[in-house]
Amino acid sequence: MNCLLCGTTFQPAPTWRKLFLYEKESSTCSRCFNKFTKSDTTIQYDDFKGTRYEGAVDAVTALYSYNEAMKSYLHQFKFLQDVALAQVFSETLHEAFEGKEGIIVPIPMHPEKLVQRTFAQVDELLISADIPFQHLLTKTATTEQGKKTRKERLEASPLFEVTTRIEARDYILFDDIYTTGTTIHHAAKVLKDAGARRVEAITLIKG
């Protein structure tokens, strides 16, 4: 098979998991995949202490760091609309969600941005990893949070609204990248305010 990132032919290595458990074949050669760096950074919530968002998120796990390989990957996947690249992290994401308790909720795109990009990258990552999810939120703002000051982010109106009744259960938010944390905290607060018992988040990248 050909690597989705560099195009070279490679043979996926056999593993015990592939023999005895369901596991997708790798879509990326080891030379390309090894350029991605696992995240070892602890997510800090200091910006949200003493604000209305304190306590909204119970835990955040980021799987990879934002290095040059990841920057190139995101550009090709999101902005050059190479939707096939969702497969690159399917195995990693499947393992990250394996055994997790809770309803998985992808962070939605604003409808206007979805029309421009033609596909929802967060959804595609989950679909490629065979992870079931539910759309429970709609995005109401189009501005990018990374371009705002800390004060503007904390004072901004909620970025999301719930689209259905939220039960007193555990929920797991999923997004492609965690940068300022505003998106995750806004989404978590909306879920908590609507009745969620616990909200954690998993992101592919820590920016």
Same domain, 70 and 160: yes
Per-residue model confidence as pLDDT tens digits over 18-63 = 555 556 678 899 999 999 999 987 788 888 888 899 999 999 999 9
The full length of the chain comes to: 207
pLDDT average, residue stretch 67-90:
96
What tens digit of pLDDT does each residue of 122-163 get?
999 999 999 999 999 999 977 665 566 766 666 677 899 999
Same domain, 123 and 153: yes
The pTM of this model reads 0.90
* Residue 57 and residue 140 share a domain: yes
Q: How confident is the model at residue 89 (pLDDT cuts 50, 70, 90)?
A: very high
Q: Are residues 15 and 46 in the same domain?
A: no
Domain that holds residue 6: 1-34
18 and 99 part of one domain: no
CATH number at residue 60: 3.40.50
Domain count, the chain: 2
| Average pLDDT, rounded, for the chain | 89
For residues 29 and 107, membership in a common domain is answered with no
Question: 93 and 30: one domain?
Answer: no
Distance CA 12, CA 14 (A): 6
Task: Give yes or no: residues 150 and 95 share one domain.
Answer: yes
Question: CA 155, 159, 160, 161: dihedral to nearest 10 degrees?
Answer: 60
| Neighbour count for residue 23 (Cβ, 10 Å) | 15
- Same-domain status, 73 and 145: yes
